[in-house]
Amino acid sequence: MNNLILLILCFVAGMLLHRFKRMPVNTPAVLNSFILHVSLPALTLLSVHGLKIGGDVGLMAAMGWLVFAMSAGFFWLVGRWLDLPRSTVGALTLTGGLGNTAYFGLPMIEAYYGHGGLASGIIVDQLGSFLALSTLGITFAGIYSSGRPGVAEMARRVFRFPSFIALLVALVLIPFEYPEWLTIVLKRLSDTMAPLALLAVGFQLRLGHLAGNGRNLAIGLGFKLVLVPLVLFLLYVPLLGAHGQAIQITLFQAGMPPMITAAILATEHDLDPPLATLMVTVGLMLSFVTLTGWWWLMQGV
């Protein structure tokens, strides 16, 4: 509960700091850069080092890819049914198929499952959501706008991403014990991720452009926040018989709101930027409620 209160306070603080212009307009860019290059790699090195890799890792990693595949098929059908512009279908595919499993997901996991659940969350994020963003996300952004990124470019983006590098290093170092000083340093640095991430998200919150986007927004968020975790729950639990905290966290991650980076990618490719931004901002606010519901429902998994 204390962690959840911290997240809400930081989110609200970000909104107020922007409203009263108490911080520069480029504050989110600076905070996100620090999180990307320092906080998240430190958290990855600390949490994954103690990870006991078991049979659930495949299901954990597959979640992000399954969600994107569902999104691509679902919004292609919706686009044909409602005769939506290609740019709108592309925006919904990206934001509906890529969850905020890092900046928002990891702090929420810590709030609901404790620090011990972060290792599972990082595996879901790095091997699932991030790789799906770096490959399928970039490819589909190109398909719905113009051009297609090459294999070399996609590989370059993946292997230059700081926390993915940290993930590889952490996996290699699993057999070796960290010195005490390194553990303390990594812990202090990783603790900065949750408050800074929510502060940055709150600072960027915009609710403009609601007029005219209500229907598409409702379809997109209904898919991402309700349909996706429901389908994954039915697949993983009754059909595959998967259980345990790692699976709970995987399904919890499946219900995360749209990824901020997905909206940025959509905007860069001119894929209905107002709708993409609304998917992130409104989805984040609604997810405080929906994630609590999914957490409660999955207690017996």
CA angle 169, 170, 174 (to 5 degrees): 120
What mean pLDDT do residues 72-93 have? 96
Q: Which pLDDT band, with edges at 50, 70 and 90, does 132 fall under?
A: confident
- How many angstroms separate the Cα of 301 from the Cα of each of 57, 60, 272? 17, 15, 38
Grouping H, G, I as helix, E, B as strand and the rest as coil, residue 99 is strand
Question: 271: Cβ–Cβ under 8 A, 6 or more apart, which residues?
Answer: 87, 88, 90, 91, 94, 141, 144, 145
d(CA 287, CA 213): 19
d(CA 235, CA 229): 10
In order, the DSSP letters of 254-293 are: HTPPBPHHHHHHHHHTTS-HHHHHHHHHHHHHHHHHHHHH
Q: Which pLDDT band, with edges at 50, 70 and 90, does 163 fall under?
A: confident
Locate 25 and state its tokens.
Answer: 């307009």
Mean pLDDT score of the chain: 87
- 208: which DSSP letter? T
Model pLDDT for residues 195-235, shown as the tens digit of each residue: 888 788 788 777 766 777 889 999 999 999 999 999 999 99
Is the pLDDT at 7 greater than 80? The verdict is: no
